[in-house]
Amino acid sequence: QALAAEKPQISISGGLGARQQVDIQDSDTTSTLNGTYTLGVTKSLYNRQIGARIDQVDASITQAQNQLEQQRESLATRVSTAYFDFLRAQETQRVANTETKAVQQQLFQVRAFFDAGRSAITDVREAESRTNAAIAQEVSAREAINNAREALRSLTGKSYETLSGPGNNLPLLIPTPRNIDAWLELARKNNKSLQVARAAIDLAQKQIEVQRATRSPVVNAYARHTGALTLTEYPADPINTGLNVGVEASMPLYEGGAYESRIRQAQHQFRQAQQDYDYAERQMEQQVRSAYLAVESSISQVQAQQKALVSAETAAQATQVGFEVGTRTAVDVLTALQDVFAARRNYTSARYAYLQGIV
């Protein structure tokens, strides 16, 4: 649309009118039909507004492209978050199912020991309580995975029963280079939010130039062909035609303060765009620093939770052996099992926190 103003503009207009004249003395009536037309061509020779608006449109296109890329990146982030949330819920449900089976098996064993006189009724009641708690946790895990599945479906348009996880041999990659300033510089060049904010500054600057151009002269070349025809009851008069060719110029001198007001408004929008960019840059720096430190911390968390899981499993095995030989109680076994599955949940959460951090 902006480029169209540079090209010749062609227009045509016309009019048709009728008149009836009555002579009172002899009652004669004369009817006259008048017709006119104008065919005009105009071509801009000098108009700063056209160039300024073309630059403004280019800046607007750049901003729209950056906004599109920002939305695509945001969608990818939301999908990856929903994907990892689903995997986490899926793994949590598996842990909850396994825990319920383990606690139920322990309940059967405690009841058998009670029937044989090797365990107290309090151990049976404690095992029943832990079993009910495990079942309730399993129900919560089932609800969580249904919610996670629905969240993923709303983004992808597909419903997944199960998805493959990262496996047990998840490599823990340290951010390279190990220099947060290098990551900040990379983000300044590629961060979509910054690119959108930077394009908004350029667009606001172009708007100032457009408003300033409205005070500049406008020079146009024109050619106009006109014609007029008069028809009466007598033979028609010939068509009168004419051709005008020339150059015309115009320039606003005073608009009641509207020009100055538009300039002030455009300058205010420019300053606002600069402030928005500064805020976006601070937000970006905070996010990059937090993400960098979170990845390093999550690596340590995964390693620590993995060791805690191994220790909990070893302790649970030893406690089970002690229970079978009579040196440990059923409550000790149930507590050890609870520690194992809590460690598994913590290990799962740490792994997916690491994956989301590196993404």
Q: Which domains does the chain have, with CATH numbers?
A: 47-217+257-358 (1.20.1600.10)
Q: How many residues does the chain have?
A: 359
Please compute the mean of the pLDDT values over residues 310-325 and round it to a whole number. 92
Q: What is the DSSP letter of 161?
A: S
Q: Quote the percentage of the chain above a pLDDT of 90.
A: 56
147: left (phi over 0), alpha (psi -120 to 50) or beta: alpha
Sign of the dihedral defined by the CA atoms of residues 164, 168, 171, 172, in that order: positive
Does residue 74 carry a pLDDT above 70?
yes
Residue 196 is predicted with a pLDDT of 94
Residue 288 is predicted with a pLDDT of 92
Residue 113 is predicted with a pLDDT of 85
Least confident of 31-40, 212-221, 235-244: 235-244
Residue 286 is predicted with a pLDDT of 94
Tokens of 55: 């630059």
Residue pointed to by tokens 């990551």: 183
The residue ranking higher by pLDDT, 30 or 269, is: 269
Q: How far apart are CA 85 and CA 80, in angstroms?
A: 8
Strands (E) across the chain are located at 9-22, 29-47, 218-231, 240-250
Residue 344 is predicted with a pLDDT of 93
Please compute the mean of the pLDDT values over residues 279-293 and round it to a whole number. 93
Residue 233 is predicted with a pLDDT of 58
- The full DSSP string for 69-118 is HHHHHHHHHHHHHHHHHHHHHHHHHHHHHHHHHHHHHHHHHHHHHHHTTS
Does residue 236 carry a pLDDT above 60?
no
Please compute the mean of the pLDDT values over residues 42-51 and round it to a whole number. 89
Please compute the mean of the pLDDT values over residues 52-70 and round it to a whole number. 92
Q: Could you tell me if 316 and 343 are in contact, meaning their C-beta atoms sit under 8 angstroms apart?
A: no
Does residue 25 carry a pLDDT above 60?
yes
The residue ranking higher by pLDDT, 10 or 168, is: 10
Does residue 26 carry a pLDDT above 70?
no
Specify which of 17-26, 234-243, 348-357 reaches the highest per-range mean pLDDT. 348-357
The residue ranking higher by pLDDT, 51 or 118, is: 51
Q: Per-residue confidence at 114, pLDDT binned at 50, 70, 90?
A: confident
Residue 97 is predicted with a pLDDT of 94
Q: Per-residue confidence at 240, pLDDT binned at 50, 70, 90?
A: confident
The rounded mean pLDDT for the chain is 89
Q: Per-residue confidence at 120, pLDDT binned at 50, 70, 90?
A: confident
Does residue 5 carry a pLDDT above 90?
no
Does residue 239 carry a pLDDT above 90?
no
Residue 115 is predicted with a pLDDT of 87
Does residue 205 carry a pLDDT above 90?
yes
Residue 136 is predicted with a pLDDT of 95
Please compute the mean of the pLDDT values over residues 167-196 and round it to a whole number. 88
